[in-house]
A and B are shown apart, each in its own frame.
Chain A
Amino acid sequence: MSIRKQLYTWELYGDGTQGTNPIVYPAAGIPYSILYGAFGNTQAGSQTGLVNEDQFVVIDKIASKPGISPTDFTTATDGGVTSLTSWNPNMFVNIVIDTTGYYQDPQNVFANGVSGTASPYPRQDQVMPYYDLWPPIYVLPDQTLDIRYTLNNDIIASAVPANWNVIPITTMLASVFVEYTNYSGTDAMMARKLMNLGIPITPSTVDSFRRLLLENKGLDTETFSFYLKTVEAERKREDKQKRMQGLDRHHEYGSDVK
């Protein structure tokens, strides 16, 4: 029974060779899993991301390495050996739950996903992300979660001696970052209950629900009413704070019945 803020990073580094080995470097244009794919630091057991029956997962953030043009690579030459020091992967990431892709294009067809340029990892102070995964994604018990990346810049085709001799093991070629909240045990049951009631699942709402259970011994209709009052009180406090900060805008549903 716990609520844990988890993260998972997938990173692909050079192997100390020129970079022509198709076993080490993924082919361009093909989606691969960051959990059980054949490249990078995937899980040792190559397991799929199955959410157990006593778990509830909320995905909060997703990001990947930025950069589009392969022409903007940089190298360093030492002792006659030219090493690749930075690389733009032109990558996209999609979230797949069971057989459904989260990202689709405007013609309602499965898409590559969000790019590293829109949601960068690692983040740098001069580049701010445009993309924020809001609302978060709920992955329910017994659902399978997968995160798939697609590289559109071909590393193998670029690896010719005129460009570089070696891709060092310290050069990061591609990366993906996922942040999620893992509710397990009774917390997962509470998360499920809150979802059924249409209440957003955050650590604070689950904590609050747990307190209610301990105080009132169950979420019957009376308790639900009490819970809503508590939430309303919190909303009023936030509204007051917004007004005092000059940020209040009269466009929130229900704000006319304060």
Chain B
Amino acid sequence: MSLRRQVYEWRNLVQNVGDSVFLNGYPISWVGSCVTAAMSANQPVDIFIGGIGNNLDMPGRLKAYQYVVLDAIALWPQTLSAQLYVNTTKYFQDPDRVPSRTGGIPANIVPFPNGQDGIINYDYQDGLEPSLYILPGQNWGVEVTSSVNILASSSATETQIQKCFIKYLLIDGADSLVAQHLVKSGWALTVENIWKFKQDIIKHHLYAGMTELPAGVTKGKRKV
């Protein structure tokens, strides 16, 4: 039972020259060995299971008692774009309703870190508005697309590393039941709304406890 603000960061860093992926964690680098994997231009790469950079064993999939509110995304360098997907639906699309041909939201709008090369995230300061809800059982992920070919490097500098950052609210356990009620009623899934809903539940229980019991109960003979 919890509300937790989670993060996930992807970079195209790997451990050894010739590697393309590093599973479940981040590779160790030192001066003279900061190895990055190559990326092809205009080829979307899944940051969870795309086979480039740090990856997971499995795609992001929510358990039956979990909700995710995806509220921020950021990336760098400027040639990178990011697309969100839930099951088979892409979030960013062109005006003709085809998934964004440029790969989604560009790093120039959401630079990572915020302020890189003097570029500030002014347009998406509050993240996605409205936030993207991912419901129990759904698959989700983020794809990054580079507009240029990225060559592998054995000694990459800060600005040469491709990176993508996502931030989301993970709602699980009993709080996911509250989230379910809020979604069904059409309310936004925010921390404040979940707190308020729980306050109301507790308030109603308190009032219920004040109610007098029926006379048949209060004046009846004890049965035990």
Residues of A within 8 A of B (CB): 28-29, 66-73, 88, 90, 92, 102-109, 111-115, 117-118, 120, 124, 126-135, 152-155, 157-158, 160, 163, 196-200, 221, 224-225, 228, 251-254
Contact = CB atoms under 8 A, between A and B. Distances in A.
Contacts of B193: 252-253
B167 A71 contact: no
Contact of B188 (A115, A196, A251): A251
B185 to A, nearest CB: 8
Interface in B1-46: 3-9, 11, 13, 24-34
Contact of A90 (B8, B29, B141): B29
Interface stretch (B90-98, B100-108, B204-212): B204-212
Given A29-B25, A103-B6, A128-B121, 13 more contacts: A28-B30, A68-B13, A107-B57, A115-B165, A117-B112, A118-B113, A130-B74, A135-B191, A153-B29, A158-B31, A198-B201, A224-B203, A251-B190
B34 A198 contact: no
Interface in B48-84: 48, 56-61, 63, 72, 74
A252 B130 CA distance: 12
A130 B167 contact: yes
A105 B30 CA distance: 25
A134 B199 contact: no
Interface residues of B, number: 72
A153 B28 contact: yes
B62 to A, nearest CB: 9
B28 A152 contact: yes
B9 A115 contact: yes
Contacts of A92: 26
A228 B199 contact: yes
A254 B206 contact: no
User: Of B140, B156, B196, which is in contact with the most chain A CB atoms at under 10 Å from its CB?
Assistant: B196
Given A70-B34, A109-B24, A132 B57 contact: no
B206 to A, nearest CB: 5
